[in-house]
Every structure is written in structure tokens, then in C-alpha cells.
Structure 1
Amino acid sequence: MSDLFRFSSAVAHDPAVEAWFSYGDDVLRRLAKPWFEVMRACGEDVRELIHDGRPTACADDAAFAYVDAFQAHVNVGFYQGSDLPDSAGLLQGAGKRMRHVKLRWGEPIDEAALTALIAAAYTDIRRRLRDEA
């Protein structure tokens, strides 16, 4: 049985994702958007959808990352995050697979390390898809 989280409804560009980022005047959603753009730019096979109320990025139909905005912070989350290299120590969470990075408005972000985590998550999901084939 696969440990991948798959969404057959993921599409190249989901208007519902744009609507999520445009909802109200939410500064935290604006903080999350550039990180979702990094996810979108990972490859031509990146698809997206809203899952559980949050923008989710997939390689083909396999989810690799998401963003979510809360009252006081943003999560940049990774579906297979427990297996990602994290030399900067950004990842939080204790679940079997998922991990996230918490961003707070006005606090510094290690942009290089977070960009590397997103790229690693994409590379990891592509490898997992190849291994399943």
C-alpha cells in the first residue's frame, strides 16, 4: 500500500487557490503566498488544489506541500516531512510523516533553508512516484 497522499482532482492552476489567497485583507495569507509560488515553480508537473481548506501542491497527483494561515502564524507543511533533510532545524511536528515550518509576521525567515526544504520535498515525492511505477 502506498504512503502517498494522492488527489486526482489536482489541476495545473486552481482558481480556488487564488481565491484563498485573495480572501479579505489577511496579511498572513499574503505571507504564505510567496512560499506557495516556490512550490508552483518546482516543476511542470506541479498541480494544486484546496484540501482541508488550505492550498496544497502536488507532483502530478501526489501531495508534497501546503501552506495554511492561522491567527498568529503561517504553516508551510510537508506531507513526507519526516524524511526531509533539515540542517537548519526548521521543521516542527512529531507525526509519523508530516512536518511543518512555522512563520510569524515580522520574524526573520531563513529563506534559503525554506526554499531548500520545498525543493527537497518535491524531489522526494518525484522519487517516490518513480519507485511506485
Structure 2
Amino acid sequence: MGQAVEQWLEDIRGLGEVQYLMAERVRELALSAGTGVTEEVKYGGILFSAGPSFCGVFAYAKHVSVEFSHGADLPDPHGVLEGAGKFRRHIKLHAFADITNKQVSDYIESALQQASNQ
């Protein structure tokens, strides 16, 4: 883990322990989604890439957001993707259980597969 990522996580801890734990878990899911996944702090969050970037995690006062650059093209079998932009979609996490309940790992894996096929 790079120093910038460590600092970002410590900053998130200032928002609240729940946000910190959610962001850390999403980070673990993204990094373990496939080989060659890298991370960098950018745009106020952590972006994950395997060549092209495929998702990011951002923390706010009341939630954590998992962002997908090309989320409009992702399948949404659980109906949890939010947003109406041309490309991006996100999943809002308000509680740690949302990570499992909203099947976040499935969406991260789909986004990685999609990015790998570009």
C-alpha cells in the first residue's frame, strides 16, 4: 500500500469508523478481483485499474460510494446501480452489511472483466 493510500484511509477514519471499514473492505474486494490490479489516490478517492481503470471508492459524511466509470454498460441483476449519466454508475453504501446485501463484489468483478475486454 502506498503512502497516499494510507493517508487517504486515515483521512476517512476521521469521517467515522463505519466509513473507514466500508472503504477498506471495498478496497480489499477490488484488489483481489484479479491479477495486476493497481490502486491510486485520484479525484478524492481510490481508483482501481488493471490497465484501464474499472472502479473507485469514495467516502462521504454519511456513505461510501463505489463508482464505475462505465457502469451504464454493466449488467445490474440486483438493481443496485444508481445514476443516470451517459457512462457512470455507482452503488451507495450506508452500512457495512450493504457490501454483501448489494453484491458489491459481483459488480467489481464485472467491471474488471469489462475493462479487460476494452
Q: TM-score, normalised by structure 2?
A: 0.87
Letter in 2 for 1:18: E
Give the conservation status (yes or no) of the 8 Å contact 2:69–2:88: yes
Q: CA deviation at 1:18?
A: 2.1
Of residues 28, 41, 47, the one that matches 2:38 is 47
Q: Note the 1:25-104 alignment, pairs <5 A.
A: 25=14, 26-27=16-17, 28-60=19-51, 62-104=52-94
Larger Rg: 1
RMSD, aligned α-carbons: 1.7
Letter in 2 for 1:116: D
Q: CA deviation at 1:30?
A: 2.1
Which secondary structure state, in structure 1, belongs to the residue aligned with residue 98 of structure 2? coil
Letter in 2 for 1:51: K
Distance 1:95 1:34 in 2: 26
Which secondary structure state, in structure 2, belongs to the residue aligned with residue 48 of structure 1? strand
Task: Quote the residue 2:111 is aligned against.
Answer: 121
Structure 1 stretches lacking a partner, 5+ long: 1-12, 129-133
Cα shift readout 1:7-52 (whole Å, capped 9, x = no counterpart): xxxxxx4321122112244321221110111101122211111111
Give the conservation status (yes or no) of the 8 Å contact 2:22–2:99: no
Which secondary structure state, in structure 2, belongs to the residue aligned with residue 43 of structure 1? coil
Letter in 1 for 2:8: W
Distance 2:45 2:60 in 1: 11
Which secondary structure state, in structure 2, belongs to the residue aligned with residue 101 of structure 1? strand
Letter in 1 for 2:106: A
Give the conservation status (yes or no) of the 8 Å contact 1:29–1:68: no
Structure 2 stretches lacking a partner, 5+ long: none
Q: Which runs of 4+ in 1 moved over 4 A?
A: none
Aligned length: 114
Task: Quote the residue 1:105 is aligned against.
Answer: 95
Distance 1:15 1:86 in 2: 34
Which secondary structure state, in structure 1, belongs to the residue aligned with residue 53 of structure 2? strand
Q: TM-score, normalised by structure 1?
A: 0.78
Q: Give aligned-pair identity as a percent.
A: 31
Distance 2:95 2:34 in 1: 28
